[in-house]
Homo-oligomer: A and B are copies of this chain.
């Protein structure tokens, strides 16, 4: 039973709730812990913050080591600092969420020292998690549920080209409610932040839908105005 942390000192860490959207399901990336405490438990990916690294960089590093991805949308959402959240000493953790595109199946990089594997698990089907990670996850989920209503973060989860139905499904799983198709499309198209492409969906056994792209330039123009994406 190794002691990683000296009992007498505080340590800072990062934990990440990494969202992906695949096959109509919202998932997060979990790792299986290799080490005590909570050996063999599922946990959020995380790590100690190094002295020469800003916390934002530390978060990006974790994501990169796990997925090989860079320049991903990430944002800090809360810092958890209860005295006893870590059984081996005082660890304060800054939590981030990230959103990544799972185009089909994304290969995960081999995992480093402290975890034996990393897997995408649907948010509606999560196992028990180590430490206070369930609390962290649920607060992160609240955060994106709230944020998606007024910021265009949904597009970070979709492939670059997507159909309006896919976009709507994503809103529905995040908000956990059904939306009206006609109203949703009307509203989305009205914002003028989608570019309609000349392409259509391929490989479906029914009428193919038009593809759209998120138009960052138009969005930037409207940026001063707040948009409302929910309901």
Contact = CB atoms under 8 A, between A and B. Distances in A.
27 contacts: A8-B51, A9-B9, A9-B51, A10-B10, A10-B11, A10-B12, A10-B49, A10-B51, A12-B12, A12-B92, A49-B81, A49-B92, A51-B83, A51-B90, A52-B83, A53-B83, A54-B82, A54-B83, A55-B79, A55-B81, A55-B92, A56-B81, A76-B79, A79-B79, A79-B94, A81-B94, A92-B94
Interface residues of A, number: 22
Interface in A93-126: 94
Given A51-B83, A92-B94, 4 more contacts: A10-B10, A49-B92, A54-B81, A79-B94
A67 to B, nearest CB: 22
Q: With a 10 A CB-CB cut-off, give which of A52, A78, A82, A83 has the most chain B CB atoms.
A: A83
A36 B95 CA distance: 31
Mostly helix, strand, loop or mixed at chain A's interface? mixed
Closest 5 CB pairs of A and B: A55-B81, A79-B79, A54-B82, A79-B94, A54-B83
Nearest to A56: B81
A53 B90 CA distance: 10
